[in-house]
Amino acid sequence: MRSNLKILVALFIATFTLTACGGGTKATPTMDANQRKTEIAMTVQVELTRVSALTPSATITPSPTMTFTPTVTPSPTAGTDSPTQANPQGTVSPTININPQPTSSSDSYTLIDEEPKDTAAFKPNEVVTKKWVIKNSGNSTWDKNYKLVYLEGPLGKTNEVLVGKDVAPGETITLTMVFTAPSAAGTSRSYWKMLNSSGKFFGESIWIEFRVSGS
């Protein structure tokens, strides 16, 4: 584009010079100098416009837009203080850990006798006095706070029977509880167990068995 512009400028100068210098040639009608300059200037402008149209302009290609995709970190499951498990129906229920009752290793007892026996029959709602004769077969002496406590089944007059005195190893004691036989006919049991003064169970469970007739 610059070379074409130089040519046009040179043409403009040469034309202007020839016009100004008539020399010894025969005089011919000449165009006004200002008009001639205007025509040349217009010619130059037209040529510049043509050259500019032929020259390709630089095309600006936009850079690709970067799309930022945030990374989503899953939040920790809020869990529960207690673990859970599904039951057969598909619902979720808490898992319950049942700790065994604390037991004493130094305490023990043996059932020596009982009245009435398990084979005894009772009438509905009959008042029954149960006596357990037990022996201290452990290594420690029982104090007065040792007791026989209720576990399950028909309840007696109270839910415990206190020893009430010291019982040395090898000694026996009779514990008594008053019951009312069930009103319905059938067989059932009321279970009891020894508990020491530290709140620990020991020995095997003992019971009273009710055989209630229909009349």
* Positive or negative: CA dihedral 11, 16, 17, 23: positive
User: What does the pLDDT look like over 150-168, one tens digit per residue?
Assistant: 999 999 999 999 999 999 9
Lowest-pLDDT choice from 99-103, 167-171, 176-180: 99-103
**pLDDT at site 59:** 52
pTM of the model: 0.53
What is the domain partition of the chain in residue ranges?
Answer: 2-18+32-54, 109-212
**More reliable by pLDDT, 174 or 1:** 174
CA 54 to chain centroid, in Å, comes to 72
Looking at domain 109-212, its CATH architecture is Sandwich (2.60)
Lowest-pLDDT choice from 72-76, 93-97, 188-192: 93-97
Most distant pair of Cα atoms in the chain: their distance:
170
**More reliable by pLDDT, 27 or 204:** 204
